[in-house]
Structure 1
């Protein structure tokens, strides 16, 4: 059994789920899976993937796990009470081989947002582990050698204490056991430079800080939930602030592109939020624009955090740290490069929200190929509403 606890997921799924319970418990959503890595045969692994999903749907949170969640400062008691009753419902997941592309799979999650929001991370982890277990080419000793080399380079970064490193690798990890093995090595190897993990289960097991705030789906949903499409980003950030009252204050900036984000991220948000997270586009350009925007809105960039999390490796961390050192607070969420670097090529797989309350929603990424929507007409309309030239963003 790959997933053995409902805590084996990213913190931001719980933080968003709590906000959904309190503000939009009746919302209905749809998510779709996509493998961005070409020529990967996942269809042949469907029997085991289905069996693992069935097993996932038997899990409940134990009393000691609920007590752990209740002890997190930003988790409210009524949400923990709800989680005490929660389990995954298999009827919300449709999984089959693609009828159009041999080897590909069609995975659709559809149902109440409150009851489907947690599916994403464990399903991606299941697909990854089933695939790599069948491939059988991972070399743990090679993985350890590569990890130690990365730790040595990260420790050598000047002013390493100001270069915070977190693990964001649950969704695309090589395996659950490897994830659990490498995290203590990461903690012990980096010391104070290592600030925590997005994985709630391992954070509890190893006494680490669980890390995370919001994901793209939170802002995407407001394209259907908000008062006006044009105001959806502002409405999503307001709703987040209403839920957490200044806690968990890292805003995600690339749901409809950086230009639209900066138009909506006014002085109020610049001062209210603790920082912004980068997840697509050129990180150096993004960082410069964010720092300039903060300064223009009378928010001291040195008091704010830039969180980088887009396909990071050690080389990117080194270069970004050197470029922005001393100008702001820096944090780096490293995912696949830490948890799935044992030899075989890692998969680039995602599950993204595509509809909310029957309406299409979309992420228009600053990186070509990362956008995802099943309605081209809606993408064109979204671009028009936010003033995005069609040639600048690929859907």
Structure 2
């Protein structure tokens, strides 16, 4: 069994889960798997994966996990924590098929439930693939130690974000332990809730792209960012205050980021495009709005390694507080080629009884890398004045 713990998942899935329950409890959605790297999956993969998904129905929140959430996730209300204690996965929400080497995974159900599937399913796909390929990880602890020491020498605040594309749970577990042991104050935590508990560190995460994708599909693309952020504040009242910027391109985000929101949110997160250009845009935005940029935080989380962290840190030095969420470079740098895979929201309904789904799309700061229905992508680009 690959997923052995209920909280072996990223914090942001639980945070958006509470927001969905609070505001959109009737929302009904679909997600779909995309194999960006065109990996060929071995014969029998789908069957093995279905067995792993079926086993997840047995997972339950333990007393230890509940106590940790109550202690460290102060932003979750007691009703939500009690709900998690009674939550069980429903494998029937996940449809897995295989045609030759091509894998298809579709998730469908109430959004407040299905939101938890993305990260563990990606972790299962990655770990199961390497199991079936007979891959053996190399230099796990040694590499993590070297990276931790290097980041500490740079005085770079960083967190581990590697659950979705990890080589395996055991690799991620060893990596988090080595990072914590060798980087002192600069290691700020991990996105993985279970590993945060195991190592008594801070669980890290705020909001996902799907939060804005839902708002874009339902309320319109011009309103998506501002509506999504206002809704987030309605739920968290200022906690979890790092805003994700690139669901409908960074330029569109800053065009709609209001003065009130800019002052309320602690900072912004970069997840695509040139990080140096992004940093300049963020600093310019804050200065234009007479906000001291050094009072805000820039979180960088796009395919980072030691070289890119150093380049960004040198660029923003003294201008803003910078911190780094590092994923695959930590959890799958063990001698095997990591999979390039995602699961994205594709269709939404405000209510299950609605006749038709609305299409959900994500735009990219990189031209030609948008995600979702092509006609809906074209509509969103035209609506936002971003025609290519």
Tell me the TM-score normalised to structure 2 length: 0.95
- Answer whether contact 1:42 1:105 (CA < 8 A) is retained: no
Tell me the TM-score normalised to structure 1 length: 0.93
Q: Which moved more, 1:33-42 or 1:343-352?
A: 33-42
Ranges in structure 2 where 5+ consecutive residues have no aligned partner? 350-356
- Answer whether contact 1:151 1:189 (CA < 8 A) is retained: yes
Distance (Å, rounded) in 2 between the aligned partners of 1:314 and 1:370:
25
Once the two structures are TM-superposed, the CA of residue 40 in structure 1 deviates from its matched residue by: 2.7
List per-residue Cα deviations over 1:208-244 (Å, max 9, x = no partner).
1000000100111102333x43212111000001111
In structure 2, what is the equivalent of residue 187 of structure 1? 180
Q: Point out 4+ residue stretches in structure 1 off by more than 6 angstroms.
A: none
1:170 to 163, 174, 184: 163
In structure 2, what is the equivalent of residue 393 of structure 1? none
Q: Does 1:145 align with 2:146?
A: no
Ranges in structure 1 where 5+ consecutive residues have no aligned partner? 391-395
What number of residue pairs does the alignment pair up?
380
Q: Does 1:302 align with 2:294?
A: yes
Distance (Å, rounded) in 2 between the aligned partners of 1:133 and 1:279:
29
Structure 1 residues 235-384: aligned runs within 5 Å: 235-357=227-349, 358-368=357-367, 370-373=369-372, 375-384=373-382
List per-residue Cα deviations over 1:252-294 (Å, max 9, x = no partner).
0000111111111121111111000001111111110011001
Structure 1 residue matching 2:41: 3-state secondary structure: coil
Distance (Å, rounded) in 2 between the aligned partners of 1:33 and 1:181:
28
Distance (Å, rounded) in 1 between the aligned partners of 2:278 and 2:221:
24
In structure 1, what is the equivalent of residue 75 of structure 2? 74
Once the two structures are TM-superposed, the CA of residue 355 in structure 1 deviates from its matched residue by: 1.1
1:385 to 362, 383, 386: 383
Once the two structures are TM-superposed, the CA of residue 48 in structure 1 deviates from its matched residue by: 1.4
Q: CA RMSD in A?
A: 1.4
Structure 2 residue matching 1:286: 3-state secondary structure: helix
List per-residue Cα deviations over 1:5-32 (Å, max 9, x = no partner).
1100000001000011111010011111
- Answer whether contact 2:135 2:336 (CA < 8 A) is retained: yes
2:133 to 128, 132, 135: 135
Structure 1 residues 28-177: aligned runs within 5 Å: 28-41=28-41, 44-71=44-71, 72-98=73-99, 102-140=100-138, 142-157=139-154, 160=155, 163-177=156-170
List per-residue Cα deviations over 1:41-69 (Å, max 9, x = no partner).
25542221111101012212123322322
| C-alpha spacing 1:144/1:62, structure 2 compared with 1 (3 Å) | closer
